[in-house]
Amino acid sequence: MTECPEISVKKISQKESAVFVLRNIFEDLLSDIYAYRERVLKEDDNEVLHQLRISVRRSVVLMGEFSFIDRNGKLLEHRKALKTLISISNTKRDLDVLYGWVSNPNTEASYYNEALILLKKRLEEMLQKEHTAIINCLQSQTSTDILKSWKVYLSHNYQTNIANDGYDGMEKLANKVIFRRFVKIKKKINILDRKSKGMEEILHALRISFKKLRYLLETFGYLYRKKKIHKLLKEMKEFQNILGAFHDSYQQQMILEALIQNEKDGRLRVFITTTFLSDLKKYQKKEIMKIQKQLKKFLKKEKIYKKLFVY
């Protein structure tokens, strides 16, 4: 699955006020959310659900990153409500990744063939359950009210609640938000160097922080030199892929450990423990050192970020 490279901003002039630009972006994203929600309810297609998640996630990220210009805290209220549309599909997404992994022919040992078939069956049952839960949630009045409330706010209340103090143009405001996110990532990386335990939690926070920075660069990249932004985005995706794979391994571990607790078939419990959990733990131990090395490389980009986003 691939994410859209950037939000369409062709109709937005660089001379428009930051308040207007942000509302235009929020409204475009909301339109996408409505369209993908409708398609998810009609089509059993993981890619469509993925695009719905992206549209909601982009909205949530921008609402959080720009919440400081909201006088009454309404952006954060709507952000909290919209996040529920992401959380309902998190488990299915993790199960999809795990199912793809166990379906890899390289994992099929003839000795465990029956156990592997049983594991796939268990995961398929879990996936079906999650799919039903997602459809029920998206069809619910609660989801309808969340989206309607956000739409009404953008149409009638947004302009009066958002402060435009000192940010007549979008570039000045984007500069501040992008570099501030870079600084937050830098602090997390420095904390990681001093930690010996709980590293997975910091790496998870870093993964999310990198994703936020990537969305900011994709959304406002039109304000800057295209070549520079594309280079930063390419590097960003590399960091995200490494951190994303590591995070997936922990999510898979949690799913498999929970499955073992409830599984009655002894063959399947042994199979999961000796084959998948063992491989996951080896992978995690090896990847941590690689990740730390890559993150230190990112810190060397500070001069580039300062030059681009700090006047």
pLDDT digits (tens, 9 = 90+) for 253-293: 999 999 999 888 888 898 899 888 988 988 888 888 888 88
Measured distance CA(161)–CA(285) in Å, rounded: 48
Look at residue 96 and tell me whether its pLDDT is greater than 60.
Answer: yes
Measured distance CA(100)–CA(95) in Å, rounded: 8
Contact present, 311 and 171 (Cβ < 8 Å): no
Prediction pTM value: 0.89
Contact present, 92 and 124 (Cβ < 8 Å): no
Taking all residues of the chain, what is their mean pLDDT, rounded to a whole number?
Answer: 88
Residues near 17 by Cβ (< 8 Å), separated by ≥ 6? Answer: 164, 167, 168, 169, 170
CA nearest to 163, candidates 271, 18, 298: 18
What architecture (CATH level 2) is domain 169-311? Alpha solenoid (1.40)
Look at residue 7 and tell me whether its pLDDT is greater than 60.
Answer: no
